[in-house]
């Protein structure tokens, strides 16, 4: 009987209905799995379901029965794809499930920061409204989105979803050319020009060697309009120490991050020291996690397992 092991059930919300494959199988799941338990828990598995637990070459070499890894996410940097290809292990990911939830989360951050929502909420809690002695007061800047320029780094489905919302709000949309790349065509604005002209910069690109620390001190120095910086893509795209320094220097107006270089953040992460600022919002990598998106994601996982069992693997990355 096919043995399927889900290594990190807690990476999917508890409200999601975890349907199972229709064919005969043995299903085992764990809330979390430490890296040193991967081999032990997958030793008899035919199929592994795994979101963020690393499965590297040394583990793969000790798992002769493993035939498939199904990833309930789009990113697959936690897995040794080359080793899987060598072994003939099918690796499938899920795609397209976050086309609404991530752009909406990005704009939730943008609205909250652009209109000073966080700061004003705290002011009311602190009694500042009563102290003002009038119907309103002005302790944080408020700016409209209509007429402003948004620079989008990443032109895939999520970047396009952000652009769709932005245009509906009357914003000017720029898609940034890839850093250091020319000749991409008229739909792209040069990388440095987006840095210099955008009021809001939002990241929706994958983390690869070419994009790691894509935004750091030299890029912050070019941000003439003091933009908001939004990251709902991957930690590692932005140098976090340089990010805090840019905020302190006034090179950016604020930041909204849903992902960090290390998740959960390590105690020495510089962002942890500025979380109480009204122009800083950090959310715990939940932009993807609307109820609707998570259910769509899981339905894809089961479809891929069913397809693999039927001899027609789908959404293969290996």
Annotated active-site positions, please? 234, 263, 285
* Residue 176 φ/ψ, nearest 5 degrees: -75, 135
Pairing of strands 149-153, 172-176: parallel
Q: What values do phi and psi take at 202, rounded to 5?
A: -130, 135
Tokens of 200: 């809001």
301 φ, ψ (degrees, to nearest 5): -55, -50
**Total number of residues shown for the chain:** 318
C-alpha–C-alpha distance, residues 30 and 230, integer Å: 33
Beta-bridge mates of residue 254:
228
Instruction: Give, to the nearest 10 degrees, the angle between helix 101-114 and helix 117-125.
Output: 60
Alpha carbon 31 to its chain centroid, in Å, reads 21
Nearest 10 degrees: CA dihedral of 291, 281, 152, 270? -120
Euclidean distance between CA atoms 142 and 276, whole angstroms: 19
What distance in Å separates the CA atoms of residue 316 and residue 91, rounded to the nearest whole number? Answer: 6
Tokens of 202: 């939002």
138 backbone dihedrals φ, ψ, rounded to 5°? -130, 90
Rounded distance between C-alpha atoms, residue 18 and residue 29, angstroms:
11
């Amino acid at each position: 009987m096919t043995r399927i092991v889900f290594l990190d059930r807690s990476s999917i919300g508890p409200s999601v209905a975890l349907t199972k494959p229709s064919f005969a199988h043995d299903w085992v799941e764990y809330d979390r799995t430490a890296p040193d338990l991967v081999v032990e828990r997958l030793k008899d598995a035919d199929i592994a379901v795994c979101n963020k637990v690393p499965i590297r070459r040394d583990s793969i070499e000790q798992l002769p029965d493993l035939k498939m890894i199904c990833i309930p996410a789009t990113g697959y940097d936690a897995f040794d794809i080359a080793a899987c290809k060598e072994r003939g292990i099918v690796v499938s990911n899920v795609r397209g499930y976050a086309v609404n939830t991530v752009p909406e989360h990005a704009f939730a951050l943008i609205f909250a920061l652009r209109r000073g929502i966080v700061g004003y909420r705290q002011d009311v809690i602190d009694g500042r409204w009563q102290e003002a002695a009038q119907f309103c007061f002005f302790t944080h800047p408020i700016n409209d989105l209509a007429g402003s320029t948004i620079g989008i780094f990443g032109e895939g489905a999520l970047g396009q979803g952000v652009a769709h919302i932005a245009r509906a709000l009357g914003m000017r949309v720029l898609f940034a050319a890839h850093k250091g790349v020319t000749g991409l065509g008229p739909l792209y604005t040069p990388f440095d020009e987006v840095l210099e002209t955008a009021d809001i910069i939002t990241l929706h690109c994958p983390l690869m060697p070419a994009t790691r620390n894509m935004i750091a001190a030299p890029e912050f120095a070019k941000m003439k309009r003091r933009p908001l910086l939004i990251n709902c893509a991957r930690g590692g795209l932005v140098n976090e120490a340089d990010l805090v320094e840019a905020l302190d220097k006034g090179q950016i107006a604020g930041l909204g991050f849903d992902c960090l270089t290390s998740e959960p953040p390590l105690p020495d992460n510089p962002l942890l020291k500025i979380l109480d600022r009204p122009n800083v919002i950090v959310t715990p990598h939940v932009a993807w996690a609307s109820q609707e998106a998570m259910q769509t994601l899981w339905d894809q996982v089961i479809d891929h397992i069913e397809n693999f069992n039927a001899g027609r693997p789908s959404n293969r990355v290996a």
